[in-house]
Structure 1
Amino acid sequence: MLDLSALQRAVMSLEAVIGETRNETFMASLNEVQRSAFIAGAIQNFEFTYELCWKFMKRWLDLNLGSTYVEGVSRRELFRLAHQNRLIDSVDDWMLFHRARNQTSHVYDRKVADEVYSVAVRFLPDARELLQRIESKND
């Protein structure tokens, strides 16, 4: 059985910060530096939530399929196994999240930051869904 508390906290944190950044009234009340800081916070939350998601995905698969199936596999293969085991709906979406995560070291570029933020918003429902599915299968 997996201790999911770290993943639960990460998803809740991402949900909270994205909720604030999606609040147009709140964001309009901030100056440019403050808005940028909130967007950077959302990107940082996306970064560590994504990392925890794929690691918990791998742990669940390791526990339930065996390490011979998951050790040393590519990220795409890991996501394919997760899809086959009904942890995620789309391998392609998770590869998009993976590529966005790899771009987080380049968020000093405003265009890249905006792109990664958009992916983070798209990622949140998938992260929630993964958490729910792992929770339901965590025996």
Structure 2
Amino acid sequence: MLDLSGLERALSSLDAVIAETQKKPFMDALTEVQRNAFIAGAIQNFEFTYELCWKFMKRWLDHNLGSSYVEGVSRRELFRLAHQSRLIDSVDEWMLYHRARNQTSHIYDPKVATEVYEIAVEFLPAARALLSAISAKND
């Protein structure tokens, strides 16, 4: 049985910061520096939540399918296995999250930050669905 508390906390944190950044009056009242800091915080939360998500996918698959299926596989293959096991809805969607996560670690560009933030907002329901699927199958 997997201890999902770390993933639950990460999702809660991502949810909270995205909820704040979605409040237009709140964001409009901030200075540009403050707005950028909130967006950066959302992106950082996305980064570590994404990392936990794929690692929990791998742990669940390892536990339920066996390590011979998951050791050394590509991220796309891992997501394919997760999709076949009904942990996620779309391999391509999760590959988009993977590319967005990788973008954040190489350069800082305001345009890229905005794109990654928007992907983080889209990621939140998919991450919640993953947690729900793993929770339902966690034995």
Which stretch shows the higher mean deviation, 99-108 or 69-78?
99-108
- Per the alignment, residue 101 of structure 1 pairs with 101
1:41-96 Cα offsets, whole Å, 9 max, x none, are: 00000000000000000000000000000000000000000000000000000000
2:138 counterpart letter in structure 1: N
Structure 1: tracts of 5 or more residues without a match: none
Alpha-carbon shift at residue 108 of structure 1 (Å): 2.1
Alpha-carbon shift at residue 138 of structure 1 (Å): 0.4
- Per the alignment, residue 92 of structure 1 pairs with 92
- Per the alignment, residue 75 of structure 2 pairs with 75
Q: Please, what is the CA RMSD of the aligned residues? A: 0.7
Alpha-carbon shift at residue 107 of structure 1 (Å): 5.4
- Contact preservation (8 Å) 1:107, 1:113: no
TM-score, normalised to structure 1, is: 0.98
Structure 2: tracts of 5 or more residues without a match: none
Q: Distance in 2 between matches of 1:38 and 1:56?
A: 27
TM-score, normalised to structure 2, is: 0.98
Fraction of identical pairs, as percent: 78
Q: Distance in 1 between matches of 2:122 and 2:106?
A: 19
Q: Distance in 2 between matches of 1:41 and 1:2?
A: 27
How many matched pairs? 139
- Per the alignment, residue 110 of structure 1 pairs with 110
Q: Distance in 2 between matches of 1:106 and 1:115?
A: 14
